[in-house]
Amino acid sequence: MVQQQSHPTTDEAAQSEPRKAEAPVIPTISTGEGLVYHQGRLVPTHEAMLSVTTHALHYGTGCFEGIRAYWNEEQEQLYVLKLREHFERFAHSRRILMMHPGESVEELCDVTVELLRRQEIRSDAYIRPVAYKSARTIKLTLSSLEDSISIYAFPMGNYVDISAGLNVCVSNWRRVSGNAIPVRAKTTGAYINSALATDEAAAAGFDEAIFLTQSGTVSEGSSCNIFVVKKGRISTTRPADDILEGITREAAMQLLARDMGLATEVRAIERTELYDADEIFFTGTGVQISPVTRVDRRAIGSGQPGPITMELQQRYLRAARGDDPAYADWLTPVYPRQAGA
Ligand code: PMP
DSSP-derived secondary structure letter, 141: -
User: Residue 283 in contact with residue 249, Cβ under 8 Å?
Assistant: yes
Q: What is the pLDDT of residue 63?
A: 98
Ligand 1 centre distance from Cα of residue 325 (Å): 25
Does 151 have pLDDT greater than 60? yes
Mean pLDDT across 18-29: 77
Ligand 1 centre distance from Cα of residue 274 (Å): 20
User: Is 102 near ligand 1, meaning CB less than 6 Å away?
Assistant: no
What are the counts of helices (DSSP H) followed by strands (DSSP E) for the chain? 8, 19
Report yes or no on whether pTM surpasses 0.85: yes
Ligand 1 centre distance from Cα of residue 257 (Å): 21
Domain with CATH 3.20.10.10 in the chain: 160-326
Instruction: Point out the ligand 1 atom lying closest to the alpha carbon of residue 194.
Output: 3
Tell me the fold of 160-326: D-amino Acid Aminotransferase; Chain A, domain 2 (3.20.10)
- The amino acid at residue 34 is G
239-290 pLDDT, tens digit each: 999 999 999 999 999 999 999 999 999 999 999 999 999 999 999 999 999 9
Local structure of 47: helix, strand or coil: helix
Cα distances from 306 to residues 228, 231, 259, in angstroms, run: 11, 12, 17
Q: What is the pLDDT of residue 78?
A: 98
| Percent residues over pLDDT 90 in the chain | 87
DSSP-derived secondary structure letter, 110: H
User: For residue 339, what pLDDT band results from cuts at 50, 70 and 90?
Assistant: low
Ligand 1 centre distance from Cα of residue 337 (Å): 31
What CATH number is given for 35-155 in this structure? 3.30.470.10
Give 214: exposed, middle or buried? Use CB within 10 Å, 0-12, 13-18, 19+.
middle
CA distance 187 to 243: 13
CA distance 306 to 301: 8
User: Is 242 near ligand 1, meaning CB less than 6 Å away?
Assistant: no
Residues pairing with 127 in the sheet: 67, 153
User: For residue 29, what pLDDT band results from cuts at 50, 70 and 90?
Assistant: confident
Domain with CATH 3.30.470.10 in the chain: 35-155
User: Is 220 near ligand 1, meaning CB less than 6 Å away?
Assistant: yes
297-322 pLDDT, tens digit each: 999 999 999 999 999 999 999 999 99
User: Is 167 near ligand 1, meaning CB less than 6 Å away?
Assistant: no
Ligand 1 centre distance from Cα of residue 126 (Å): 14
Closest by CA position to 167, among listed 197, 207, 128: 207
Mutate which of 192, 223, 312 for ligand 1? The one with the most ligand atoms within 8 Å of its CB, which is: 223
Mean pLDDT across 47-70: 98
- Crossing angle of helices 83-96 and 105-118, rounded to 10°: 130
Segments in the chain forming alpha helices (H):
11-15, 55-59, 83-96, 105-118, 191-203, 247-260, 271-275, 307-320
Does 28 have pLDDT greater than 90? no
Least confident piece of the model among 11-25, 209-223, 315-329: 11-25
Closest by CA position to 129, among listed 157, 97, 151: 151
Q: What is the pLDDT of residue 12?
A: 40
Residue nearest to atom 3 of ligand 1 (CA): 223
Residue nearest to atom 10 of ligand 1 (CA): 224
Mean pLDDT across 194-221: 98
Does 11 have pLDDT greater than 60? no
Ligand 1 centre distance from Cα of residue 224 (Å): 5
Does 2 have pLDDT greater than 80? no
Least confident piece of the model among 3-12, 58-67, 80-89, 104-113: 3-12
Does 16 have pLDDT greater than 90? no
